Amino acid sequence: MTPLLVIAGAMVGAPLRYLIDRAVASRYGAAFPWGTLVVNTLGSFVLGLLAAGALAGAVPGSVTSLLGTGLCGALTTYSTFSYETVRLFTDGARLSASLNVVAGVVAGFAAAGLGTLAGTAIWG
């Protein structure tokens, strides 16, 4: 049953990543990978929230598999983050590449931390 939950979550997460990325790029342009930053930050927050709920015993393993592994796993994307950073660097936008790395790591950690705090406040 667990693999089916992961698949179901991924079937929502992957198209959601695409749609969010396109929406953000259409609003802010594609020179900087804002869409990837948004989906990775959002996924980190949701995963922190779910992890706190799971640790408190309030979020069952099935929900963690569906939303944490499936949805968040397909929503977030380290490979695209890496590719876009390399592309920025090779295109000569070294400052943007560096900012992408710093922003991605800091935003991801901050969002995961805030998600964990929110989950602890809800279920703790």
Res 124: pLDDT:
84
Q: Is the pLDDT of residue 14 over 90?
A: yes
Confidence of residue 79 (pLDDT cuts 50, 70, 90): very high
Mean model confidence pLDDT for the chain: 98
Question: What interhelical angle do 34-55 and 78-90 show, nearest 10?
Answer: 150
Segment 15-21 mean pLDDT: 98
Mean pLDDT, range 21-33, rounded to an integer: 97
Give the pLDDT of residue 115: 98
CA distance 124 to 116: 10
**Are 23 and 80 in contact, with CB atoms under 8 Å apart?**
no
Based on the structure, what is the number of domains in the chain?
1
The residue segments making up the domain with residue 45 are 2-123
pLDDT at 65 over 90: yes
3: Cα separation from own chain's centroid: 20
Residue ranges at the known binding site for Na(+): 73, 76
Q: Where residue 1 falls among pLDDT bands split at 50, 70, 90?
A: confident
Percent of the chain with pLDDT over 90: 98
In the annotated binding site, the residues are: 73, 76
pLDDT at residue number 58: 98
pLDDT digits (tens, 9 = 90+) for 92-106: 999 999 999 999 999
